[in-house]
Every structure is written in structure tokens, then in C-alpha cells.
Amino acid sequence: MLIDTHTHVQVHQFAGDRQQVIAAAFADGIDRLIVPGVDVESSRDALALATAYPGRIFAGVGTHPHDATTLTDEALAAERELAREPGVVAIGEIGLDYYRNLSPREVQQRALIQQFALARELDLPVILHNRDSHDDMIAHLRAYGQGLLGVFHCFIGTKEMARDALDLGFYLSFAGPVTFPRNTELAEVAAWAPADRILVETDSPYLAPPPFRGKRNEPRHVRLVAQRIAELRGLALEDFAAITTRNAEALFRLPPASGTGTSDTSDTSDITTPSPSEKGNPSDASL
């Protein structure tokens, strides 16, 4: 039993077969999914999935740094209302991205601080995007994120960067890059990280692990991420899966696994909203 703690199955890349993708994940032992938003509309779509699959899919509500210019006062108010709904377990995906700089850095920072405040107000963990922005992210967490818990999603940093996150009480979530043969340093971090602070994810439709690299990623492929880290740590897959499941349940305060769902009956065909940050090749462009 595994939990994919970060999948964007609400986006347009799944418009044609969303139900089948979700059903395939459940059939393959992926018990629950967490679906973060990247703006108000995609957060609303994530909530729609959580409503359609109660106890199996959970939503995050947030504005991604790529879309930080869209976080107006009205958008922040809409996030607040969405985040109060049942099935929402986090504020995210939020953060900083100095690699693409699709929003000005000062706008990204303002959006991050505003959403830190929202997470504190609603007592929710945060899902953090952190790309080429580590020093500013840690500084903002220390200055504005006191008392918050959360996860550095799709962690791809060094052991020193991991220590910074861990020292603040945060989790590290590993995705497809940990399976890429050249990422030896990241593999070392995954082997070293404290067992009670590790999560696994796909970031689908992005960053598919081998042998699917270059293709659309799917939640069921989180098993390949977990298998790789289990091997690095010298554990059986089922034992590592139990560890990461407990961690996800603790961070996101998930109810116990139900073992049942609505994967064959839920109608999600109208959830097709793309975001500016989702455009491009779905294989390696991480959200």
C-alpha cells in the first residue's frame, strides 16, 4: 500500500482518461492520492476529485510560484474558502522558482508569505516547490513560517539542503529523479534521510521514472520510486511502503485507509482546466 503524495491528475494531460488512470493506480496498490492545485481553478478541480473519491483522493489548495501574479486579494479569498472544504489537507503547491522565473521574484515571495499565513490560519501543512531558490526559501520559512509543518516536494537537493529542511521539521518527498541513473547524490540523500521524514510522489504528469521516462507520468508509477528508495535503504518494498504511508498519514492527518473507493463510478470528465505552469513537455518539466 502506497500513497502518491503529489500528483496533478486534475490537469489537461489527463482529460481523456482520468478515471482510468486513477482506477489503474488503485488497482496497483496505490491506496490514496494527494492532488495539489497550482492556482484557484486547478485547486477547485483538485477539490472536485477529492469530493468524487472520498477517502481516496485529497486536495491541496494553493498558487504555484509560476502563477504568483494571479494571487490577487480575490484569489486569496477564494483559496481560503476552498481550503475550508472537506477533503483539503494542505496549502500547496506553493513556493519559489528562480529557475524559470515565470513570475517576478518579489511577487513569488509575497505570494509565499501570504500563503504561509493562510496555512497558519487554517492549521494546514504546506507543500513547497523550491527550485534554485533554497537560501531564500529557508530564510522565508525562518522569518514567516514559524510553527508550520510541510514537505519539500520533489526534493532534488544536496544533503546540506536536506538538513536545512529537516532542521525546520519538514519532510522530504522524492519523485522520479531519484530513479535517474546520473542522480547519484540524490540517491545518497534518499538512502540517508531519516525514515520518519520521507515521502514518495510522482509529480505526474511530469518526471516519469524509467522505463517510462519521456512519457506521461501516472500515479501508479510511484511504486517505481518507492522500489528504488527501498533498494537504496536495504528494505523490502512493503516495509518501506508502510513507513512512507505512516509518514503521509501523520503529516496530512489522513484518515485510516478505507481500501474502498469510487474509482469505477466517479465522473470527472469535466475536470480539464490547464494552468500556464502546466504547458510544455510533460515528461521532465516538474511542477
Nearest residue to 63 (alpha-carbon basis) of 73, 55, 52, 49: 73
- Considering the domain boundaries, does residue 203 fall inside one? yes
Q: Helical H runs in the chain?
A: 18-27, 40-52, 73-83, 105-122, 134-144, 159-167, 184-192, 222-233, 237-252
Res 259: pLDDT: 56
Looking at the structure of the chain, the number of domains it has is 1
Domain extent, residue 273, equals 2-278
Sign of CA dihedral 106, 72, 14, 29: positive
The CATH number given to whatever domain includes residue 21 is: 3.20.20.140
- Considering the domain boundaries, does residue 287 fall inside one? no
- Considering the domain boundaries, does residue 286 fall inside one? no
- Considering the domain boundaries, does residue 284 fall inside one? no
Sequence-distant (≥ 6) Cβ neighbours of residue 119 within 8 angstroms:
90, 91, 125, 126, 148, 150
Res 287: pLDDT: 62
Res 285: pLDDT: 58
- Considering the domain boundaries, does residue 8 fall inside one? yes
Res 257: pLDDT: 81
Res 284: pLDDT: 55
What span, in angstroms and rounded, lies between the C-alpha atoms of 122 and 119? 5
Per-residue pLDDT of the chain in tens (287 residues, 90 and over written 9): 999 999 999 999 999 999 999 999 999 999 999 999 999 999 999 999 999 999 999 999 999 999 999 999 999 999 999 999 999 999 999 999 999 999 999 999 999 999 999 999 999 999 999 999 999 999 999 999 999 999 999 999 999 999 999 999 999 999 999 999 999 999 999 999 999 999 999 999 999 999 999 999 999 999 999 999 999 999 999 999 999 999 999 999 998 886 544 434 454 444 544 443 443 334 455 66
3-class DSSP assignment, residue 267: coil
- Considering the domain boundaries, does residue 283 fall inside one? no
- Considering the domain boundaries, does residue 164 fall inside one? yes
Res 286: pLDDT: 63
